[in-house]
Chains A and B, each alone.
Chain A
Amino acid sequence: MKAAPFAYHRPASVTDAVALLGEYGDDAKILAGGQSLVPMLAMRLTHFGNLIDISRVHELTDIDRIGDEVRIGAATPHAFVGLDDEVAESVPLLTLATPHIGHFQIRTRGTLGGAIAHADPAAEYAAVALALDATIEATSARGVREIPAAEFFTGLWETALASDEILTAVRFPVWSGRCGFAVQEFARRHGDFAIAGAVVGLQLGDDDRVTRCGIGLLGLGSTPLRATAAEAAVLGGQVGAVTPEEIGRLALSDLTEIPADLQGTAEYRRRVGATMVARAFEQARTQATEGAIDA
């Protein structure tokens, strides 16, 4: 349970980090909070000749409201995201998702950018980024590239980042008006990877018609997923027109890669997933229609 040898680099700026990554390419990995990478190194599931530690690059830990978006620096720890007032006010889905990530001793160290770049299928922030149509900023020596969340997750622990790019920030759109947000997940032990889960964002017009709906799914494929069929069924109609159970069923209907492991069969995950979607949708709908603050 000890990592194989590697060389360690701790750049002081994004510019230096990008230069190092350009130099070492595929033989380098960015180390942020290390809460997923270090166990994988310890178990020798992966190895890199060089680790580039960005946990002390201060320019990567800012949270800023810029226009209709909240921009969160990649190295911001989960614990900071979860406690931030601007985030709670403007992107409450992140605040609701945070307590589900690992345990508090993990959230002090794990980072928002790390969670999204690692791209675990059960990653809460990744599902939130998908549901809200976030924009991911990738920085390399060539400049900053913007990647829509919908195009970011390409496979199990694989992303659209090039080997010389660092995920430096994520911009989450601020939804305003009559909105509801909810996170539901099921795990055998609090803080474990979810067997299945769902994050829901819902925005209603004055006539109770759904003007925006984002449903992110956790643990139900090789990447975090977006339930587009369920969203389409809801969008534009009266919010009560489709039952939460039907939305849950639709959300799971076109999934083809539901994992099966010791935690449960694919069929079991499908049922749990549909229930999580139904519960999260119901909760978001209640909040949007009643304006309840306590989600």
Chain B
Amino acid sequence: MHELPVEVSVNGQTYRGQVEPRVTLADFLRENCGLTGTHLGCEHGACGACTVLLDGQAVRSCLIFAVQVDGQDVTTVEGIAEPDGCLSPVQAALKECHGLQCGFCTPGFVTSITALLRDNPAPTDEEIREGLSGNFCRCTGYQGIINAVHRAAELSTREAQRDLEVHAQQ
């Protein structure tokens, strides 16, 4: 089957490739871009491990073909930390609250929580549980992850306040 050209911006960097239409975005990211942070669990949209941000929206990269996102922007777990390597509030909170153990599902949680908190900066326990109902974790029992979302919300709010204060002083 003939291949089609694809050009995608991933974490701010442009990647070009020639792929069969049946290649998923997840496989394109892992195999063509060498970005293996995006993990594949079930490959049919149930586990959430492969979640990435597509033009800012959290999506399952195993349920999208790479050819479909030609010209669009993708953020993977590799693009969530600060450019200097400092962990994002979500990543720092997951580490602090024991929100991960083996780490396989973590990239999907990091991207999902990042989108969740952007749209709802102070979610309730119920909103967090609903928001993360599409991500499986087989190690933690989820409590640490839920605590981490609350903690990340606190850290983000504090960071935003500090930015405001710095801005006011200037």
Q: Which residues of A contact B (CB under 8 A)?
A: 1-8, 10, 31, 34-35, 38-39, 41-43, 51, 53, 55, 79, 99, 102-106, 108-109, 189-191
Contact = CB atoms under 8 A, between A and B. Distances in A.
Contacts of B130: 99, 190
B120 to A, nearest CB: 10
A106 B57 contact: no
B137 to A, nearest CB: 13
Q: Which 7 pairs between the two chains have the least Cβ-Cβ distance?
A: A103-B134, A8-B21, A5-B1, A1-B43, A39-B44, A190-B133, A108-B57
Interface in B36-91: 42-45, 48, 51, 54, 57-60, 62-65, 67-68
B68 A105 contact: no
A55 B54 CA distance: 14
Contacts of B68: 10, 31, 34, 53, 55
13 contacts: A4-B22, A7-B2, A8-B4, A10-B67, A34-B63, A34-B64, A35-B45, A35-B60, A38-B62, A38-B64, A39-B45, A103-B133, A105-B112
A109 B65 CA distance: 12
A4 B62 CA distance: 15
Contacts, number: 89
A31 B112 CA distance: 24
Nearest to B19: A8
- Per DSSP, chain A at the interface is loop
A31 B22 CA distance: 12
Interface of B: 1-2, 4, 20-22, 24, 27, 42-45, 48, 51, 54, 57-60, 62-65, 67-68, 112, 115-116, 129-131, 133-134
B59 A108 contact: yes
- Per DSSP, chain B at the interface is mixed
Nearest to A110: B63
Contact of A39 (B4, B48, B63): B63
Contacts of B129: 190
B43 A5 contact: no
Most chain-B CB neighbours within 10 Å: which of A6, A38, A55, A79? Answer: A38
Nearest to A79: B57
Given A39-B63, A99-B130, A106 B45 contact: yes
Given A1-B43, A1-B44, A53-B68, A105 B4 contact: no
A133 to B, nearest CB: 31
A104 B131 contact: yes
Nearest to A53: B68
A41 B24 CA distance: 11
Contact of A42 (B20, B43, B59, B115): B43
Nearest to A33: B63
B134 A42 contact: no
B63 A6 contact: no
A55 B64 CA distance: 11
Contacts of B65: 8, 34, 38
A109 B60 contact: yes
B64 A109 contact: yes
A6 B59 contact: no
Contact of A38 (B42, B45, B112): B45
A7 B43 contact: no
B164 to A, nearest CB: 27
A53 B65 CA distance: 10
A7 B59 contact: no
Given A38-B63, A106-B45, 10 more contacts: A2-B24, A4-B22, A5-B20, A5-B21, A6-B21, A7-B1, A43-B44, A53-B68, A103-B48, A104-B58
A96 to B, nearest CB: 14
Contacts of A4: 22
A194 to B, nearest CB: 14
